[in-house]
Structure 1
C-alpha cells in the first residue's frame, strides 16, 4: 500500500465519522431478539458523557479491563473547527484540544492511550501518546508518515512507517523499557504490525498492496507465517491474548473472516455476517460494525434500528464494547455485558 492509498483510507474513515455527526440523547436498553431467537445475553447500551457544545463525539478504544475509554469530538466554530480528544475514566471525561484531526487507536490497562495525527504544516503522519494527563508526540524516524496501531499492558507500542526504506513500509516498535526511543522491527519486508499481545507477540501483514501475507513475531524474535492453507492474500487486523483476527481471500467474491490461535496457528472461520473485524479480546470474542462474534456465530448489538446506525470499535476482556450511535448525530456509546 503506498502513501496515497493510506491517505485515502484515512480520509474515508474521517468522512464516515463526519457523516455520522451531531449529538443525540442518551439511550439505554437490553437487546431484544438475536438471530436464531437467542437474546444477546445481558448486553446493554448507554451513552458516554461528552461535552455538550460539541457537534459530534465517538468512542474508539477501550482498555482490557473496560475502565478506560478514548475517543474524539468536534466543536464547530464560526471560523475553524476545534478537534478534541476525549478520555474517559469510568463516567468521568477529560477533553483535550488538538490542532487537527487526531484518532486514538489503543489504550492499555494503565490508561495510556496512543493514536495518530498529522504533523503541523507538513501533512505527514505523526503518532502521539497520552499518559499522566499529558499529550506528547512519539519519537519518529525520517519518513513520509508514521502510524501506531497497538499498545500492550507493558507499554510496548507497535506501528509502521512509510518510505523509511524507499517505496516500502517498515515495522516499528516503541519499547517501554527504553522510553523516548523508536526502533525498526525485525519483520518481513514491507511489514505493517497491527497488534501486540501482553507477552510481546506481534502480528501483522506484509507485502505489496493487494498481495499481503500474514505473519506473527514471537517474543524471542522468531517469525512465522499466519494464514490459511491454500489461501491467498491475508490481512491481520487485531490481536489479544492468544488470538488474532483478519481476512483471507479464498477465491470467493469476498474475503473470509478468520480467527487464529497464536499458540499453534490453527484457525476457525468467523460468522461472515459480521460487517468487519475491528477488535478481538483475550477470550476470543470479536467485534466489528454492529455485531459481536463468538466462534462461528454472531449477534447484533442493541441500540440500532430504522434510521439509527451503530458501530462497535473496541472490546475489553469483560465484554465491554465502545463505539458510536448515530440517530441524527453521532454519540459515543458503551455496551456492557456483551
Structure 2
C-alpha cells in the first residue's frame, strides 16, 4: 500500500467521520460475572443531546467521569451542520464545528482535544477549554493529528510528511503554551497515549509493519511487544497500563494489556471486538464489551436490531458511547456500575 493511501486511512481513523457507519457487533443481554454474580447494577442511560440532530455520539469521558465530549449531526435542507457536544454532568453545551471534527481525549479538568480540517484540507487539531475552541499550533506538514492529553495538559500526536515520507511524533507541552515540538521518538512514530507522569506510548514503522514502543519520562525508549510477536499496534495508555494488538503470524493476532512498569503483558479476552480505551485500573472497553483481567462482559442496552458501542471509560468505571436502534437515530449513552 502506498504512503498516500496509508495517510488517507489514518486520517479517516483520526477524524472518525460522522458520515460513516457507527456499526459494531450486535449485543445481547449482559453476561454473568465470575462466580455467577450478575451485572445487576450495570445500567445504561441516554445523555441529553439536541433534539433536532440526526445522530449524536459520546466519544470520550475524563478520568473522573464528570466530563464527556462527543459529536452530533444536524441535517439541513441544503447543508449539514456538524456539532461538538460537551457535557458536564447532565448539562450539555453544543458548539458548531467547521466541517467534520471529533474529540479524541479529555482530561480531569475538562480540557478536550480533537481533530478537524483546515480550509486547505490539511488536518488541524484543536483544544476546547474555558468554553472556547482554539486551534493548536502546527508545523508545516500534510496533516497534524492529536491523540491524547494528560491531567497536566500535555498533548501528544503526530504529523505527516514533516520529514519527507515519514510520520513524526509531536508534543504540545503545557509548560510552554503556544508551542509544539518534535518528539524524540522512533522513526515514523505515531504516539497514541500519554500518562500523567509523562510516559508516552505509540507505534512506529511502515504500514502493516508497526513496532510498539514506550518513551519513559527520562527519554528512554523501550519496545512494547510480546515474545514471538510480530507487528504491534498500541491503542493508548492510562496510569501504568497500555493496550494494543500483536500479530503472531499471517492474519492471527491477539489483544494485550501491558504493565508499563516492567513491560509484562496479559492476553485479553478475544471476545472483545476491539480495543478503544483503558482506564488507570486496567479495565478496557471495545465494541459492546467491558473487560477486566482476561475476561469480558457484554454491556446492557443492546439486543436484536440494536447496536451499542463503548468508546471510552473513566477511572471510576463510567463508560460512554452510542446506541443505535434500527431505523432510528444514533444516541449518546453512558453506562454506570459496570
Q: Structures share a fold, TM > 0.5?
A: yes
Measured after TM superposition, the shift of residue 114 of structure 1 is: 0.1
Alignment of 1:155-194 (within 5 A): 155-194=153-192
RMSD: 1.8
Aligned match of 1:19: 21
Distance change in 2, residues 1:10/1:300 (3 Å): farther
Structure 1 position 251, deviation (Å) = 2.0
Structure 1 gaps of 5+ residues are 22-30
Number of matched pairs: 329
Contact 1:100 1:118 in 2 (8 A): yes
Distance 1:6 1:104 in 2: 20
Equivalence for 1:211: 209
SS of 2:252's equivalent in the other structure is: coil
Q: What secondary structure does 2:321 align onto? A: strand
Separation in structure 2 between the aligned mates of residue 215 and residue 97 of structure 1, nearest angstrom: 37
Partner of 1:221: 219
Q: Given the alignment, which residue of 228, 239, 242 partners 1:241? A: 239
Give the Cα separation in 1 of the matches to 2:22 and 2:201: 31
Deviation at 1:18, TM superposition (A): 4.1
Q: Contact 2:47 / 2:333 at 8 angstroms: preserved in 1?
A: yes
Output aligned runs, 1:257-276, within 5 Å: 257-276=255-274
Aligned to 1:197: 195
Quickly say closer, same or farther: Cα 1:251–1:40, change in 2 above 3 A.
farther
What SS does structure 2 have at the residue aligned with 1:8? helix
CA shift at 1:230, angstroms? 1.2
Task: Say whether the 8 Å CA contact 1:192–1:205 is kept in structure 2.
Answer: yes
**Which residue in 1 is equivalent to 2:337?**
337
Secondary structure of 2:248's counterpart equals coil
Cα distance change, pair 315–46 in 1 and its aligned pair in 2 (3 A): same
Matches of 1:10 and 1:142 in 2, distance apart? 16
How many Å separate the matches in 2 of 1:326 and 1:15? 16
Match of 1:46 in 2: 45
Give the structure-1-normalised TM-score.
Answer: 0.93
Alignment check: 8 A CA contact 2:235 2:244 kept: yes
Shift of 1:3: 4.2
Q: Deviations over 1:180-224 (max 9, x none)?
A: 100000000000000000100000010111111111000111111
Q: Normalising by structure 2, report the TM-score.
A: 0.93
Partner of 2:5: 4
Change (3 A) 1:16 1:141: closer
Aligned residue among 86, 110, 133 for 1:135: 133
**Which secondary structure state, in structure 1, belongs to the residue aligned with residue 228 of structure 2?**
coil
Give CA deviations for 1:221-272 in whole Å, capped at 9, x if unaligned. 1111111111100000010000000000112643100000000000010001
Using the alignment, how far apart are the partners of 2:123 and 2:17 within structure 1? 18
Structure 1 pair 253–337 and aligned structure 2 pair: CA distance change class (3 A): same
